[in-house]
Structure 1
């Protein structure tokens, strides 16, 4: 039986960091733990291993049409993968004609991905938002025109009919309809893919796979520039998991069980989490919920039934989850019952959520849950740093993982970080000019982020994410505003009202906040209002506005000058839009897109004559 391990010293390898310091102030950081020369050749090796070693172990589970868990073991998954791969071999596929998946996470999504990679064919899971939330399908058209897929999977296919019609002239591939499709409209039913099996042909193709074989094309979120197809090789994905094995040795004693919603179209869910489970023969319960008001109930229902051993999510989700854990003792006990650690990524975790999770876990288990984070990107598959120690505070992204070198280059008053290692991508598909501009003269990938040391005297205590280099700006005084740190400080100071914040003030005298409110928490502050009170009444309620004002005053009193606190704030009645790109797949807010889309509100916020809806530190409104 797997063990529940909550002792960080037993869970993790000792943190060791080697530093090379150069004359110009540049520092190169490497892990003191060496990465072996050899490790898994491809992700398919893991499926082959577990199908033989533990064929009856549960691999994947999802809700069926009757709301029951539909389950598949490793042995069943391998048999289905061989059958699907047999059909794929007849479709004349290659890197020039890959498999594209338009749908959400599902068992068929996983099997089709694994089958394609089992015969050396790249797979590209594209965010369903590009198909379902766009009116002009511009992003999807760009995706398909670049890849020219030979197979496109959609489930249910009728839901994707407008998107499929929009891209019809951009490919000559076969459309495959998922199992929940009611209307085929010329598409091939997924069941056809499983009808035949030629194991010898599949395994002949499998043996030809090398570490350089392209496993996936993953599109960037578009938070900086237009989306690009990132080549993910087998080496990138396998070196990531080898590094994880070295720094998280407790996984050998405790196979991961995940309740997972994070989209497989993104590197966090599709590489970090999906590959982690497959590497260790664990289980994924596919969560049909999301950290949205409409999807949260489904996530809670799943967490009532399944206790995860690891929980991966974004700060937005923890903001919604913590109040419910406080209210529901049974949910809280189940959630923490066999949880080894909580992992957050996508953005820094505000301190009040960190503290809340620690208090809740200690209340029901007697010990504080270990909370960790890491850092990386789609171009690094994804892990560059990892926490293999108990962090002293939120925001610590860990230290370089084995095999990875981080180059810290002084830039203005920041340390720009660049990356080299077997986890780094070879380039963007069919975009050599963009690829060339992405690497420096020493071959380091210029990721565009900044970091700082938690304590320069003790680098093994980890690095802090210091925002994107292009996100920060200067006030008219010439003072730099560090957007990432300021955003997190603001969310924490204005708890529980602020769910997220966009920082304004570029080329202005003072900082402003566009505050996206946590509506359920705001309603708890207003017991005098009816539950269905209009949004404007809620946001203009004195209790809500006073809480924001108190947070602003607290930030000002902390000291540090005008670049460390907002002078004015505006509560947003319209939530951030996924369709417009204000929220990315992994749940963090895109500062640049939001500022552009809401430029009129930024002007309104900073107007010389302050409107009554704008909250200022000293105002009484």
Structure 2
């Protein structure tokens, strides 16, 4: 039996293919039958153009239903999907093309579909679980972008685990306002809906009015923390806005505890936070049934082994399991560096586990600050600052310091007096952990999924402590 991911997904489409797969903001619908036909036509065109199993097919375009058809068609043809952020510059795209060597780069999936044969390909190219299904390039904030190789088995195992963990069923309706060039929107959200044969409220991007309207039809919403802060900033959002939504899920960036608390006060629901990455999709999740704890990313998914590296309580998270990728594209030496001798992937995320097994993330290992010989975990400092009056959000970084090696600096959205905030931080933190400087800004630099780009902050303020 073929282990092609497309076979699994299509086997779970509703028997009545006229059921809607996409509910569009203009009131129209796209059925599962149309989705299946579109994917089949694209697979037929790929095969007609000489695409072989294992060939990479690049995708760089704005979010669309045709983009999903392209993804499924690529899987059906046995090729490898290569999604690229629509905002990438030509120079960035040139790098990915040179590195991944795609057979085709599709920038207009609707036009690509229009040029496909009228008859869809009836067959799905057989694939093994270990065969490559997609390559996702990491953000490259610490250097050259790396292509994480994800197999059909990796994606299938994670999708099935999430479907069960989050209680999906054919009765669900997913609000989908995420991009589809990233794990969150492409693999996590999309796969859960397709496995249930569920309709999706399909929004090209997050627009307050459209999301509020969509919530009246949805049972599940997935988003990044920014989605939830924007909803909370809208006076029209409250208990009466959420209709029959049974769960709100957040990921791709840390959720502030203040956002968690305010959302619960406003809606009566606790956001379900989870933790994942390009190299393994979703790793841990707070429980659907049970206590969701603010600040924790919950428990490892079934099948995921998670341990903390090193002798200390807090250390770098290491994982092993069926959803963990096989390595980085054309980077065997880097791949070898990132795995332990017994096969655990070294995530680069620093965290700890409670006695009950809950996982808490402190930050990225590369963000660790060593000040005067002492380790400072930025998350610990941010949690203190974010609770202070006037502080909306903080990002703590280490900058070159002539005396301490690195000085702790907080870049803050909000209002306040720098000396008073530093003094307040010193009252709750050891002196070496407290910020030596606090800088106020109107916004923090973020990537497409809402993560604060601390590397850009370090570059911007690199000379803050330079001696004159």
Instruction: List per-residue Cα deviations over 1:151-205 (Å, max 9, x = no partner).
Output: 2222xxxxxxxxxxxxxxxxxxxxxx344xxxxxxxxx335334421534xx1xx
Structure 1 residue 593, shift from structure 2 partner: 3.2
**Which digits, 9 at most, give the CA deviation of each residue in 1:101-156, with x for residues without a partner?**
1112210110011011012111111011213xxxxx332211011122222222xx
Q: Corresponding residue for 1:593?
A: 456
1:429 pairs with one of 311, 329, 337: 329
Question: Which whole-Å CA distance do the structure 1 matches of 2:423 and 2:101 have between them?
Answer: 55
Q: Whole-Å Cα distance in 2 between the matches of residues 502 and 95 of structure 1?
A: 46
Which structure: greater helix fraction? 1
1:229 is matched with 147
Moved over 6 A (4+): none
Equivalent of 1:320, from 218, 230, 250?
230
**Distance of aligned partners of 1:54 and 1:545 in 2 relative to their CA distance in 1, 3 Å threshold:** same
Q: Deviations over 1:232-279 (max 9, x none)?
A: 11101111022224433x323742422x23222211221111111111
Match of 2:155, SS? helix
Cα distance in 2 between the residues matched to 1:494 and 1:283: 42
Write out aligned runs for 1:74-223 (5 A).
Answer: 74-94=32-52, 97-131=55-89, 137-154=90-107, 177-179=108-110, 189-200=111-122, 203=123, 206-223=124-141
- Note if contact 2:137-2:148 (Cα within 8 Å) is conserved in structure 1: yes
Q: Distance in 2 between matches of 1:482 and 1:340?
A: 35
Structure 1 residues 437 and 313: CA distance shift in structure 2, 3 A: same
TM-score w.r.t. structure 2 length? 0.90
Higher-Rg structure is 1
Unaligned runs of 5+ in 2: none
- Indicate if the aligned counterparts of 2:158 and 2:282 stay in contact, CA closer than 8 A: yes
| Counterpart contact for 1:491–1:501, Cα < 8 Å | no
CA drift at 1:494: 4.9
Matches within 5 A, 1:301-316: 301-307=210-216, 308-316=218-226
Contact 1:91–1:150 (8 Å) recurs in 2:
no
SS in 2 for 1:545: coil
2:381 aligned with 1:481: no
CA distance in 1 between counterparts of 2:422 and 2:222 reads 31
RMSD: 2.6
561 and 505 in structure 1: CA distance in 2 versus 1, 3 angstrom threshold: farther
1:444 to 335, 339, 344: 344
Residues 115/57 of structure 1: CA separation in 2 closer, same or farther (3 Å cut): same
Change (3 A) 1:342 1:554: farther
2:382 corresponds to 1:472: no
1:352, distance to aligned residue in structure 2 (A): 1.7
Unaligned runs of 5+ in 1: 1-37, 132-136, 155-176, 180-188, 291-297, 362-367, 518-543, 577-581, 610-621
Q: CA deviation at 1:589?
A: 0.7
Q: Confirm whether residue 383 of structure 1 aligns to residue 250 of structure 2.
A: no
The equivalent residue for 1:272 is 188
> CA separation in 2, counterparts of 1:261 and 1:474?
39
Secondary structure of the equivalent of 1:493? coil
Measured in 2, the distance between the counterparts of 1:117 and 1:405 equals 28
How far did 1:550 drift? 5.8
Taking the aligned partners of 1:494 and 1:70, their CA distance within structure 2 comes to: 46
Counterpart residue number, 1:167? none
CA distance in 2, matches of 1:399, 1:280: 23
